């Protein structure tokens, strides 16, 4: 799989760097298994049947490694719509 680019809802400027998209590379075996991150979401039982639970800390851990451009240090002030698009991009690497 090639790098993917997530378009943002608006341009952001951080540390004199302006960007309107974020480029991610796909996770590697080392990051998933050797470093113990595992999957960022999983099925969990509930009284009403199974539900999917996602783990924000695991998503963030992946983003620290996977962001190619503009850099992880630039994403702290993303608006909610863009933060959720970034989360979805990470989750999409791991089909259910």
What would the pLDDT profile of 40-58 be if each residue is shown by its tens digit?
999 999 999 999 999 999 9
pTM of the complete model beyond 0.85: yes
CA atoms of 47 and 87, how far apart (whole Å): 27
Residues in the chain: 96
Q: Is the peptide bond before 64 cis (omega within 30 degrees of 0)?
A: no
Taking only the tens place, the pLDDT of each residue in 59-95 is 999 999 999 999 999 999 999 999 999 999 999 999 9
Helices marked H in 39-94: 56-66, 80-92
């Amino acid at each position: 799989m090639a790098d993917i680019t997530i378009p943002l809802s608006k341009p952001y400027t951080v540390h004199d760097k302006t960007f309107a998209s974020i480029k991610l590379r796909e996770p590697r075996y080392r990051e998933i298994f050797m470093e113990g991150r595992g999957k960022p979401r999983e099925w969990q039982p509930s009284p009403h049947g199974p539900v999917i639970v996602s783990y924000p800390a695991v998503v963030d851990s992946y983003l620290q490694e996977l962001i190619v451009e503009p850099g992880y240090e630039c994403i702290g002030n993303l608006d909610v719509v863009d933060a959720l698009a970034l989360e979805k991009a990470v989750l999409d690497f791991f089909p259910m």
